Structure 1
Amino acid sequence: MDDARLDLTDLFAFTVPGGSTVLIMNVHPIAPAEGAHFHPDAVYRINVDTDGDHQADVAFSFVFSPFEDGRQSVTVHRATGVQARAHEADGQVLFRRVPVELGLRHEPPVSESGRYRFCAALRSDPFFADLDGIVRDFQWTGVDWGADKNVLGLALEVPDAELGDQPTIGVWARVSLRREGRLISVDRGAHPSLTAYFNAEEVKDAYNAGEPTDDWATYREPWTAVLQHTGGYDAQAAEQALHTILPDVLHYDRSAPAGYPNGRLLTDDVTSARLAMVSGGKVTGDHIGPHTDLLAHFPYLGPPHPTPPAA
């Protein structure tokens, strides 16, 4: 919708010592160092499926105040059951009107509520890739596109018990915008770089408005055709590969170490994984490594860059 604040960039899920799961949702690519803020008419959401039916059983929604005098606050809701499947911010309020850190602090303030921890802040973008090399038919430049970029990050540390009693969960994110009294889903996803490789321009709006439960029936055939074209797959091999990313839900067995596609760490090389997938193994990576500015503790996202490039 021509508004970078509504652009979902990445989703991460991993466990940390002490019996907690960390969920991180980033938006607003190429966020400026001054004036970046969340959309006050949007609902930012992380959905969690706890029983394997690709429907939300727990949902964490983040809604923001207007941006005034360089400041903004956020309220965090936790919904379950039927409320979790609606797109509205509803359910228990975990954090109310917490300040958003929009400055250049190395370590932003962290709010706590029981065993929950939360942070909303301007941070460095953890995404790493040689995007120029990709669009130049894999003539690698050695330049990490994300090395000097910022995003707006939402980091939530959740007690494991709050995400069901089974080790495996499914996670996806959504951004919805309120227009004329109703919410319109304008972006959603879990696995990185799917729309860029698989969705034609004319179906992107429908994809963003959709639900994971419908993904296999809707996208199996056209995405199979993509893999046959880009990677030389036969139909059976293409369908087998697609089972990793369709439905577009990031599955995470918390009893095993996190590492994409089992959850996702901030250092996982998802670009190389996607290149290998779409090329049928002919392109194995872009030779770009993870960022070194990540924090070793919550909220894990690195400090923002003071002079990121203009959009």
Structure 2
Amino acid sequence: MSHHLSGPNLRPPAEDARLDLTDLFAFQSPDRQGHTVLIMDLNSYGFDPSAGPHPYPGAVYRLSVDTDGDVRADVAFSFVFSEPDAGGGQTVTVYHAIGGQADEHHAGGQVLLRDVPVSFGPEPNIVREGWLTLAVGLRSDPFFADLEGIGNDFTWTGEDTMAGKNVISIALEVPDWILGESPQIGLWGRVVVERDGQWVSVDRGAHPSLTAYFNPEDAKDAYNAGEPIDDVVKYRDAWVKVLEHTGGYAPEEAAKALETVLPDVLRFDRSKPAGYPNGRRLDDDVTDARLQFISNGKIQGDGIGPHTDLLPGFPYTGPPHA
């Protein structure tokens, strides 16, 4: 799977689907030259309906941007949701941090928008304020995969597990200069909660389907709490062994292959067309890419194609399913 159920034993992080970061996308705006689209999807309640569609109130959902290649955040957008009201409505406040504040876990920096209504109906609530275009709400999950087939030793069912599922989607469209002068940026998402006065990361990721395939169950919480800058030292040797086992890679070959995904930062050279692993479009078949990666090309894909409800314009994800 992409980044759904990224806690131990195919459970959501911290045993709460609302805290599950599910996907990260980055591509050039098809409508506005010189603008970049960033989408962070969350809340895997489709697998745990009891969690409900509302994001976790007070948690910090953070999208980090490395603008200089040092694997530390130089720009960050943080999103903090209110408690749902009696009618089921909810709002979100958006923060923009740069410099040292961008590398912190709490929601710091400038408040760009306060108490923006989250959309739960078919029409997105698109807000334009200064250089920021924003839409936050319940949308059709764009991820596609035969998860049952993957879990059954790659015996394909022909069914898209994600068909009919919804997520909370946070979509931004910003001018390129907001993300740094260089066209090359790195991105990752994170979900942080406050525990005993400390901000604790319960989920994080950028590349699809890494922790599900590479980390043993007892290592997933530590991975979610970690920093991308430490990934190579902490995980390369263990992940080399995974690739040796799953794909018959030679050790040197595996180490080279892992340079694409370690550290766990989604690289996006905006001077080149987006397409995973250079950024990620909503219709990129990342499931096939990961299956080919772990199997060293022996498994070509699951036969599932992109969803047909994607929109040609902002916020690009389809309307939510009933």
TM-score normalised by length of structure 2: 0.92
Counterpart for residue 200 of structure 1: 216
Secondary structure of the residue that 1:271 maps to in structure 2? helix
Matching residue's letter, 1:171 = L
Partner of 2:254: 238
CA distance in 2, matches of 1:7, 1:122: 14
State the alpha-carbon separation in 1 of the partners of residues 320 and 198 from structure 2: 34
Q: Which residue, out of 18, 23, 33, partners 2:38?
A: 23
1:309 is matched with which residue? Answer: none
In structure 1, give the amino acid aligned to 2:40: M
Structure 1 distance, partners of 2:36, 2:315, is 12
- Contact 1:33–1:304 (Cα < 8 Å) also in 2: no
Q: Does 1:141 align with 2:118?
A: no
Partner SS state of residue 162, structure 2: helix
Are the structure 2 counterparts of residues 35 and 201 from structure 1 closer, same or farther at C-alpha, using a change threshold of 3 Å?
closer
Aligned partner (choices 179, 204, 211) of residue 195 of structure 2: 179
SS of alignment partner, residue 121 of structure 1: strand
AA partner of residue 40 (structure 1): P
In structure 1, the residue matched to 2:60 is 43
- Tell me by how many angstroms 1:41 deviates: 2.3
**What is the distance in 2 between the residues matched to 1:41 and 1:139?**
41
**CA shift for structure 1 position 290:** 0.2
Equivalent residue number for residue 318 of structure 2? 302
Q: CA deviation at 1:180?
A: 2.1
Q: Distance in 2 between matches of 1:37 and 1:30?
A: 9
Map 1:200-239; keep pairs closer than 5 Å.
200-239=216-255
Match of 1:4 in 2: 17
Question: What are the residue-to-residue correspondences of 1:257-296 with 2, within 5 Å?
Answer: 257-296=273-312
Q: Post-superposition shift, 1:137?
A: 1.3
1:158 Cα offset (Å): 1.2
Deviations 1:57-108 (A, max 9, x none): 0000000111112111111011011100001111111111100112x31x31
CA RMSD of aligned residues (A): 1.2
| SS of residue paired to 2:264 | coil
SS of residue in 2 equivalent to 1:147: coil
Q: How far is the alpha carbon of 1:30 from its aligned partner?
A: 3.6
Query: Does the 8 Å CA contact 1:33/1:150 hold for their aligned counterparts?
Result: no
Q: 1:55 to 1:142 in 2, by over 3 A?
A: same
Aligned residues of 1:77 and 1:90 also touching (Cα < 8 A): yes
Query: Mind listing any 5+ residue stretches in structure 1 that lack a counterpart?
Result: 307-311
Tell me how far apart the structure 1 counterparts of residues 218 and 97 of structure 2 sit (CA, whole Å).
33
Unpaired runs of at least 5, structure 2: 1-13
Instruction: Supply the distance in 2 between the matched residues of 1:172 and 1:228 (Cα, whole angstroms).
Output: 27
Identity score, percent: 62
Structure 1 residues 303, 254: closer, same or farther in 2, change over 3 A? same
Does structure 1 conserve the Cα–Cα contact (< 8 Å) formed by 2:18 and 2:51?
Answer: no
Q: How does 1:82-101 map to 2 (within 5 A)?
A: 82-101=100-119
2:75 corresponds to which residue? 58
Residue by residue, what CA displacement relative to the aligned partner does 1:15-74 show, whole Å, maximum 9, x if unpaired? 113211111111111445995111112000000000001100000000011111211111
State yes or no: 1:170 paired with 2:150: no
Counterpart of 1:254 in structure 2 is 270
Contact 1:110 1:119 in 2 (8 A): yes
Give the Å deviation of 1:133.
1.0
Could you tell me how far apart the structure 2 residues matched to 1:185 and 1:158 are? 26
Tell whether the 8 Å contact from 2:60 to 2:79 is kept in structure 1 after alignment: yes
Residue 76 of structure 1 corresponds to which residue in structure 2? 94
The answer to whether the 8 A contact 1:33-1:305 is kept is no
Alpha-carbon separation, structure 2, partners of 1:96 and 1:157: 17
Q: In the aligned structure 2, how far is the partner of 1:48 from the partner of 1:118? A: 17
